[in-house]
Chains A and B, each alone.
Chain A
Amino acid sequence: MDIRERNEKLRIIHQDGGEQENILEILIDLQFASEEGYIDKETAALVAQELHMTETRVYEIVSYYAMLKEKPQAKFVLKVCNSSPCHFSRSEEVILSLEKKLGVPIGKTTDDGLFAYHYIPCVGACDIGPVVKIRDTVFGSLDDDKISSLIDNLRNGEVVV
């Protein structure tokens, strides 16, 4: 990590006072700011040092909370809600459309490292199911056509998340 990167991370860690209470917000912000969408070892060590906790405890937290990742992620991870309200609003068809469009099965990343998709539980957008969440943006009322154009637009940068 170069000095600029380190300073940016320190800024995120201390933006709300740098208390242990803020650890989830800090880790999520660091993850969102990272290139590969995960908490790497160096970053975890920095958080541990700044918040005066052991690295083991930081890792315990990263592995416990579903939003935090220990491994590099695809650039766009499409999370398809599969809780009952969405499940019975055809969320399985979303998975089929994604498989057709991307050519990789659920849980695998495309060769170019751009896309992956998997199920997650309810994201609180049950009134517009089926839904896909990418980073902090929810796309609702999806069908085969909309998914196809969403992928195209993410690829060519017309949709930014």
Chain B
Amino acid sequence: MALKEPVLLKRVEKMTDPTSVEEFTKYGGFDALKKAVIMDKEAILDELDTAHLRGRGGAAYPLGRKWRHLYGSQNTPKYIVCNADEGEPGTFKDKMLLEKDPLSVIEGMVIAGYVFGSNDGYIYIRGEYRHIQAVFHQAVRNARAAGYLGKNIMGIEGFDYDLHIISGGGAYVCGENSALLNSVEGKTGRPRVKPPHLADVGLYLKPTLVNNVESFACVSAVINMGGEAFLNLGTKDGGGTKLICLSGHIKNPGVYEVELGMPLDEILYSEEYGGGTSTGRPIKFIHFGGQSGPIGTSEQIKDRLYDYGDFWYNKLAIGSGAIVVMDTSVNAIDYMTSVMEFFVHESCGKCTPCRLGTTRLLELFKKFQRHGGKQGDIEKLEKMLEHITNLSACGLGQSVSVSARSALAGYRDEFEACIN
């Protein structure tokens, strides 16, 4: 069943100037903030737990749990950081919020500022989105002028909170939250060694919250409708609506908002959403959640619900919301070669298993492409994937194997056909 009322995109296309506070408030903007500041902070955390809101940046970690961790930290100051680095190929949904409803992201970040008694929020916007950075700067100025940022917000004595807008520079790994913090500090954006957890030792070594753009927008929705109602939009494995990005061989590519738990077939085939393939050929597989996500074969995706639980149970993942559709003309080896080119390009080079591993994996896929594989090469591929997963320091290296393993599981025959 299609979404009755958009939750995250309710103002998009309605406002003539997306940075205007007046228009934003006309369509319910800042209602959540007004509600939040008269709520007990513990009660806000309870609502977020009840909502079962999972982080929308990719890892799907429960947002309520992350907020509680930071809430419990005694150290000050605390920093709020919004991850708007959106670099996962096939993902372009944060762009929509940042450009078409930037104040909704600001509202979520101000609520976080209130809950944690923070004075400084940061938003790290990918360098490729320069025109969006300009929109966001304008939205921040407008919010400040209207008293929603700055000193004594909404007239509340001591509620001082402002936002810093930081530009990325075109490095995918800076979307990893510790690399992102290094980049904010004006350093080269390489990941840090973890632990410690960023909620304990984050930006400038202080307790820090990092959440995705869409996650912050969801926070306002939870406060507005209540945790229970938000949960009921989704399923017991994750509440709310999700922004999805359809691309590849799909007739109607673009960003859509869907209720979690919607039948995947409806997303792919109904005219309101994907509308089937663009090529007339059937779907062969789908790459979910970006390059670091798994590939689902046409068998695997049959009768699925777009739901965290149903997906995980079937070795799939929601991730960032990317849904990259590939038709039957695409060979699994060619596809994996393309994915591996990306990882080779984006590995930051800090750890050898990732730097060399991605290069070796690419060489091996290219050898398969030439049908030059030898006996034992598939086993070698499996070993290499295990090695890079276990020995890499950050999520980039650790997830290189996800798509490759699922491709191998689904299309082993295509790999075997490349062995002499």
Contacts and interface: CB of A to CB of B under 8 A. Distances in A.
Interface string A142-157: 0000000000000000
Nearest to B94: A124
Contact of B248 (A65, A67, A89): A89
Contact of B169 (A24, A121, A123): A24
Interface stretch (A2-10, A15-23, A70-78, A104-112): A15-23
B172 A121 contact: yes
B169 A84 contact: no
Interface string B319-362: 00000101000100001001101100110000000000000000
A42 interface: no
B179 to A, nearest CB: 11
Nearest to B330: A88
Nearest to B132: A124
Nearest to A135: B130
A61 B54 CA distance: 34
B373 to A, nearest CB: 22
A65 B182 CA distance: 13
B92 A125 contact: yes
A61 B186 CA distance: 8
A127 B253 contact: yes
B326 A64 contact: no
B339 A127 contact: no
A61 B324 contact: no
Given A121-B342, A133-B128, A84 B287 contact: yes
B164 A21 contact: yes
A60 B169 CA distance: 13
B307 to A, nearest CB: 23
B170 A84 contact: no
Contacts of B90: 83-85, 122, 126
Interface of A: 16, 19-25, 27-28, 32, 51, 53, 60-61, 64-68, 82-85, 87-89, 120-129, 133, 136
Given A61-B188, A84-B338, 18 more contacts: A21-B184, A23-B186, A24-B168, A25-B166, A28-B167, A32-B130, A60-B188, A65-B168, A66-B169, A83-B90, A84-B335, A121-B89, A122-B87, A125-B92, A126-B92, A126-B324, A127-B246, A129-B247
